[in-house]
């Protein structure tokens, strides 16, 4: 089995998540739960799937079924991260504002919703570019 086909993408995702934590620390927004949180710069979701597609294209060939599946998963994941999950965060913001407008006796009955689920396009682009560069470097080192 070619362990590098999943070790490289997982390592790239972890590196991207580490970069995200460093950025959060520098912005003064770090909290322990942010290590595994959704959203933020750069996108670890995009990093993982772009790395997966890259290793599949390199090792299995760009005309292989594995590469085709990886590309479809990449497109689906990126669309989900920038579309559906982004809208969930927007809905969370709106609902939180509406809840704060309730009388105090009613407000406490509702939980504070998470407002960070998805990614801005720039977060996906940066995560993808970092992933592509680091994946190619890992492939060159591994070969």
pTM of the entire structure? 0.76
In a domain, 97, yes or no: no
Q: Which domain holds residue 26?
A: 4-83+121-142
Mean of the pLDDT values across residues 108-126? 73
Contacts of 81-85 spanning 24+ positions with Cβ under 8 A: 81/43, 81/45, 81/46, 81/118, 81/119, 81/124, 82/118, 82/119, 82/120, 82/121, 82/124, 83/118, 84/118, 85/38, 85/39, 85/117, 85/118, 85/119
In a domain, 98, yes or no: no
pLDDT tens-place string over residues 25-74: 887 776 666 666 666 778 888 899 999 999 999 999 999 999 999 999 99
In a domain, 105, yes or no: no
pLDDT score, position 39? 67
pLDDT tens-place string over residues 71-101: 999 999 888 777 776 666 677 777 778 777 7
In a domain, 36, yes or no: yes
Q: How many structural domains does the chain have? A: 1
């Amino acid at each position: 089995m070619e362990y590098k086909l999943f070790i490289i993408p997982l390592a790239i995702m972890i590196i991207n998540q580490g970069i995200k934590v460093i950025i959060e620390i520098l912005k003064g927004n770090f909290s322990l739960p942010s290590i595994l949180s959704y959203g933020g710069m750069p996108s670890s979701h995009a990093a993982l799937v772009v790395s997966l597609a890259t290793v599949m294209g390199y090792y299995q060939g760009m005309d292989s079924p594995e590469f085709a599946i990886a590309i479809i998963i990449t497109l689906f994941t990126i669309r989900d991260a920038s579309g559906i999950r982004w809208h969930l965060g927007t809905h969370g913001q709106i609902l939180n504002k509406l809840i704060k407008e309730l009388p105090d006796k009613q407000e406490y009955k509702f939980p504070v919703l998470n407002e960070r689920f998805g990614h801005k396009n720039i977060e996906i682009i940066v995560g993808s570019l970092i992933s592509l560069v680091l994946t190619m470097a890992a492939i060159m080192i591994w070969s």
